[in-house]
Amino acid sequence: MIARAAHDIGLDRVTMKAVADRLGVSVPGLYHHVDGRDDLMRLAAEFSASRIQIPTDRDQHWTAWLLEWARYSHDAFVAQPELLSQFLNGTIGIDRMVTHLDAAIGLLMRHGFSAEEALDAYNLVSAAAIGIAVGEIRAAEASRAGRPIIAEYHRALSQHDPDELPHLRTLMGAINEVRSDFDDRIRTVLVGIAVRRGDAVQTVLDSTAASSALPPSLHP
């Protein structure tokens, strides 16, 4: 109940008083069950992590399944930046991730992966999704603080002579256009895994394109 209450309040707004009020108990009474705000954050983060869904196995190509998993995890972290912070700090225990991990390994093994290959593929795709989430959260925070990333680039360039950093200067005019979308970035990782396995690249492109084309109601 405490973990759910903290989750529902939101990780960025969790306080002992807020959780106590939501549960209808006193703050001293809440201290009988948790050690403080850090403990609340851990419980809320673990509860949030446990709610990240595993994509449905619809007999889709393994790359389509991994793309959907990447979306699930990416969207969860972007929606709750504090969840990502707790994850990076090691607050979220491995026991919250083993169900997801076992499901992913089992599905990939049914597609011909060894257990080791399956774990490596899962870790690569998860790391890419988290890395993209970090960049998006950082950019959003910078914009909210009145320091958009593009403006920071221009500020940094202004501190150098006009003939310095020529490659970045060339890129400034199109920096927004060259940033590929999330699916394209994950697709690049999936193509790399497929090539290493000897799978056809076109199959990867076709299967992940079909996943990207799903109606919004069927997306993760």
Q: How is the chain split into domains, by residue range?
A: 1-51, 55-218
Question: Can you give the pLDDT at residue 219?
Answer: 43
55-218 shares the fold of 1-51: no
In tens, the pLDDT along 153-195 reads 888 899 999 899 988 888 876 665 445 589 999 999 999 999 9
Average pLDDT rounded to a whole number, residues 136-151: 85
Lowest-confidence segment of 82-91, 132-141, 193-202 by average pLDDT: 82-91
Distance in angstroms (rounded) separating the CA atoms of residues 218 and 220: 7
| Of 44, 55, 47, nearest in space to 96 by CA | 47
Alpha-carbon gap, residue 95 to 88, rounded angstroms: 16
Grade residue 114 by pLDDT with cuts at 50, 70 and 90. very high
Options 1.10.3210, 1.10.357, 1.10.3470, 1.20.1300; which CATH number does 55-218 get?
1.10.357
**Which CATH fold would you assign to the domain 1-51?**
Arc Repressor Mutant, subunit A (1.10.10)
Phi-psi region of 121 (alpha: psi -120 to 50; beta: other; left: phi over 0): alpha
Task: Quote the CA–CA distance of 24 and 22 in Å, as a whole number.
Answer: 6
